């Protein structure tokens, strides 16, 4: 079985396409739109801060008007220097994040050195383009990709559209159903010299604003102890924000809004 | 009319084995040895072409002989492991399955093809402390004809296995530190080579599978790290 494969290159995604087709989703050309029946993930955001880049997402997945999951994770570390956040159909999105993380590790092992950050973003854009037929059936994958560029020594972030279009953002971005509200909030709070703590707080503020206005976005759920996922990527690698930090940031947000954190 | 000569199967196999052994005997050796925190792989290698590589979380590969052939096997191993880990789970990727797949593939080439592979490989797997049944390190050696064997404590492949092994047999101790293991590895490799001066960090390739690392346990040590380990 070791010698049966035809594929000779360094990409895991292409390896699956050539030799392991059964591990990739097969979508018949005449498939009916599945849009509302499958769980969708909603608001995710990414922003630069002083030391690198921050990516955050709420935890809610919805199917039509129902809650599909309250604690889905939409932000993934795809390797030691990059993060991906997903919005769109949860199943294909999470799978794409998984394939991308195997892809990056696979390339590094086969070639003996990791891809550049640009190369990683470009590869993701090709994978999204491959998903276009499914996107037309309502199973869109619209991620944010961010990472710390070890050559330029700065955080960078990209957004994508369903055709694989790749757009580098200089400050911040948010996508998903609550993305508009999150962007509005970030427009107000974002500065180039945000410290890590300020960036976490701006992210929680933006997600809270999105959850306020958009019914498909989940805010902080103190009752169930479900917090947004916040991950940071700097020269030191990927750092996961702790629940205490996030809860504290949320209480600060509430306090600023004059509701008082403790009683919530 | 010319008649094809009859050559007995025994003769064919013996000739192929002879040919492969000659190719491997020209090469330098590699030692894999267990130390207190995992497995250390040390190879005599003055070039920038690696002989030791990462396969998966807990699995490393080392090959001697013809570079293009063992490097191809290394890549096949990475594809095998990544596909398996993607289809099932990361914990399902095990060294013995990979070593078996190598053994079958190499054996098949040996019997079917005119030219056997002129290589010998090690598949090393470091134990996983999280699971009772995955705790032990394992070292597999697969030779040019697909013969597979498993080893405890240390495993040697390459040109001068007997000399290298005799040093290890005498000097190996359980629970060595990383730098003790590296020093022993260098001493063993030194004995197998015919040369005046001894091996230095410049012509050694050293990689480890370290139990205490989270996630991917493989690490390639830089020349500076190797130098400080050998000096200390």
In three-state secondary structure terms, A146 is strand
pLDDT, residue A1, reads 64
- Asked if pLDDT for residue B94 goes beyond 60, the answer is yes
pLDDT, residue B201, reads 85
pLDDT, residue A34, reads 67
Give Cα separations from B56 to A77, B5, B75, B89, B208 (angstroms): 18, 48, 11, 12, 13
Give the tens place of pLDDT for each residue, B78-87.
999 999 999 9
pTM for the structure as a whole: 0.92
Residue A45 parent element (H or E): strand A44-49
Task: Tell me how far apart the alpha carbons of residues A131 and A86 are, in angstroms, rounded to a whole number.
Answer: 14
Q: Specify the long-range contacts of residues B187-191, CB closer than 8 Å, at least 24 apart.
A: B188/B31, B188/B156, B188/B164, B189/B28, B189/B29, B189/B31, B189/B42, B189/B43, B189/B44, B189/B164, B191/B163, B191/B164, B191/B166, B191/B167
Give the tens place of pLDDT for each residue, B101-138.
999 999 999 999 999 999 999 999 999 988 888 889 99
In three-state secondary structure terms, A82 is strand
Average confidence score pLDDT of chain A = 89
- Would you call A112 and B76 a contact, using CB atoms and an 8 Å cutoff? no
A196 touches B at CB < 8 Å: no
pLDDT, residue A264, reads 40
Burial class (CB in 10 A: 0-12, 13-18, 19+), A128: buried
Among candidates A1, A19, A106 on the partner chain, residue whose Cβ is nearest the Cβ of B101: A1
Task: Tell me how far apart the alpha carbons of residues A12 and A15 are, in angstroms, rounded to a whole number.
Answer: 5
Task: Tell me how far apart the alpha carbons of residues A79 and A88 are, in angstroms, rounded to a whole number.
Answer: 22
Give B174 to chain A, closest Cα distance, Å.
31
List, as ranges, residues 109-148 from B with C-beta within 8 Å of A. Answer: 109
Q: HEC string of chain B?
A: CCCCCCCCHHHHHHHHHHHHHHHHHCCCCEEEEEECCEEEEEEECCCCCCCEEEEECCEEEEEEECHHHHHHHHHHHHHHHHHHHHHCCHHHCCHHHHHHHHHHHHHHHHHHCCCCCCEEEEEEECCCCCCHHHCCCEEEEECCCCCEEEECCEEEECCCHHHHHHHHHHHCCCCCCHHHHHHHHHHHHHHHCCCCCCCCHHHEEEEEEECCCCCCCEEECCHHHHHHHHHC
Using CA coordinates, name the residue in chain A closest to B50.
A112
- Asked if pLDDT for residue A177 goes beyond 70, the answer is yes
pLDDT, residue A66, reads 87
* pLDDT category of residue A207 using cuts at 50, 70 and 90: very high
Give the tens place of pLDDT for each residue, A66-125.
888 899 999 999 999 999 999 888 888 899 999 999 999 999 999 999 999 999 999 999
Domain boundaries, chain B: 26-231
pLDDT, residue A262, reads 46
pLDDT, residue B224, reads 94
- Asked if pLDDT for residue A189 goes beyond 80, the answer is yes
Residue A103 neighbours by CB under 8 Å, 6+ apart: A11, A12, A13, A123, A127
pLDDT, residue A5, reads 86
- Asked if pLDDT for residue A263 goes beyond 60, the answer is no
How many CA atoms does the CB half-sphere of B161 hold within 13 Å? 14
Among candidates A3, A19, A109 on the partner chain, residue whose Cβ is nearest the Cβ of B78: A109
Which tokens is A69 given?
């999951």
Q: Which residue has the higher pLDDT, A195 or A133?
A: A195
Pick the CATH number of B26-231 from 2.130.10.10, 2.30.42.10, 3.50.50.60, 3.60.20.10: 3.60.20.10
Which segment of A19-33, B147-161, B207-221 scores lowest on mean pLDDT? A19-33
CATH number for region A40-256: 3.60.20.10
Give Cα separations from A52 to A154, A242, B5, B118 (angstroms): 6, 17, 72, 48
- Would you call B79 and A5 a contact, using CB atoms and an 8 Å cutoff? yes
Task: Tell me how far apart the alpha carbons of residues B84 and B57 are, in angstroms, rounded to a whole number.
Answer: 12
CB A255 within 8 A of CB A205: no
A5 touches B at CB < 8 Å: yes
Average pLDDT rounded to a whole number, residues B72-96:
96
- Asked if pLDDT for residue B147 goes beyond 90, the answer is yes
pLDDT, residue A131, reads 86
Residue A85 parent element (H or E): strand A82-85
Task: Tell me how far apart the alpha carbons of residues A63 and A81 are, in angstroms, rounded to a whole number.
Answer: 32
- Asked if pLDDT for residue B184 goes beyond 70, the answer is yes
Give the tens place of pLDDT for each residue, A214-262.
888 888 888 899 999 999 999 999 998 888 888 899 898 888 887 654 4
Task: Tell me how far apart the alpha carbons of residues A141 and A131 are, in angstroms, rounded to a whole number.
Answer: 8
Average confidence score pLDDT of chain B = 92
Q: Spell out which residues of chain B touch residue A7, defining contact as CB-CB under 8 Å.
A: 79
DSSP annotation of A37 reads G
Average pLDDT rounded to a whole number, residues B62-76:
96
Give Cα separations from A248 to A72, A140, A170, A262, B232 (angstroms): 21, 34, 28, 10, 47
Residue A148 neighbours by CB under 8 Å, 6+ apart: A52, A53, A81, A82, A117, A154, A155, A156, A233, A234, A235, A237
- Would you call A2 and B109 a contact, using CB atoms and an 8 Å cutoff? no
Using CA coordinates, name the residue in chain B closest to A22.
B87
Has A62 been annotated as catalytic? no
């Amino acid at each position: 079985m070791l010698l049966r494969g035809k594929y000779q290159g360094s990409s895991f995604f292409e390896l699956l396409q050539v030799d392991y087709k059964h591990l990739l989703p097969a979508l018949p050309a005449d498939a009916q739109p599945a849009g509302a029946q499958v769980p969708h993930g909603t608001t995710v955001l990414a922003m630069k801060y002083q030391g690198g880049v921050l990516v955050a997402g709420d935890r809610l997945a919805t199917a039509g008007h129902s809650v599909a999951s309250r604690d889905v994770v939409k932000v993934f570390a795809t390797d030691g220097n990059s993060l991906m956040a997903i919005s769109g159909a949860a199943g294909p999105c999470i799978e794409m994040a998984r394939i991308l993380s195997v892809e990056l590790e696979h390339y590094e092992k086969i070639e003996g050195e990791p891809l550049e950050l640009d190369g990683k973003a470009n590869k993701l854009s090709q994978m999204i383009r491959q998903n276009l037929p499914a996107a037309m059936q309502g199973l869109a994958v619209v991620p944010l990709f961010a990472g710390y560029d070890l050559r330029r020594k700065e955080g960078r972030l990209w957004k994508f559209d369903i055709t694989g279009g790749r757009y580098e953002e200089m400050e911040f971005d948010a996508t998903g159903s609550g993305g508009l509200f999150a962007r509005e909030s970030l427009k107000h709070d974002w500065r180039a010299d945000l410290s890590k703590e300020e960036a976490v707080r701006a992210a929680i503020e933006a997600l809270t604003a999105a959850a306020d206005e958009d019914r498909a976005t989940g805010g902080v759920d103190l009752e169930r102890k479900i917090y947004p996922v916040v991950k940071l990527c700097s020269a030191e690698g990927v750092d996961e924000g702790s629940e205490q930090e996030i809860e504290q940031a949320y209480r600060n947000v509430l306090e600023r809004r004059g509701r008082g954190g403790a009683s919530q | 009319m010319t008649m094809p000569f009859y050559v007995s199967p025994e003769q064919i196999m013996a000739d192929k084995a002879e040919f492969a052994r000659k190719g491997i005997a020209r090469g330098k050796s590699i030692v894999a040895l267990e130390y207190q925190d995992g497995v250390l792989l040390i190879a005599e290698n003055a070039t920038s072409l690696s002989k030791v590589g990462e396969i998966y979380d807990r699995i490393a590969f080392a090959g001697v002989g013809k570079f293009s052939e063992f490097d191809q096997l290394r890549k096949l191993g990475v594809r095998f492991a990544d596909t398996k880990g993607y289809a099932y789970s990361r914990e399902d990727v095990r060294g013995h399955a990979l070593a078996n797949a190598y053994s079958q593939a190499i054996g098949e080439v040996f019997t079917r093809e005119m030219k056997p592979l002129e290589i010998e490989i090690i598949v090393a797997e470091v134990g996983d402390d999280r699971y009772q049944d995955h705790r032990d390190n394992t070292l597999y050696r697969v030779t040019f004809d697909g013969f597979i064997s498993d080893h405890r404590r240390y495993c040697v492949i390459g040109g001068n296995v007997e000399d290298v092994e005799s040093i290890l047999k005498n000097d190996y101790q359980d629970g060595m530190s990383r730098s003790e293991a590296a020093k022993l590895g260098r001493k063993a490799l030194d004995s197998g080579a015919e040369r005046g001066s001894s091996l230095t960090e410049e012509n050694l390739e050293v990689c480890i599978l370290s139990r205490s690392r989270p996630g991917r346990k493989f690490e390639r040590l830089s020349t500076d790290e190797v130098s400080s380990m050998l000096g200390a």
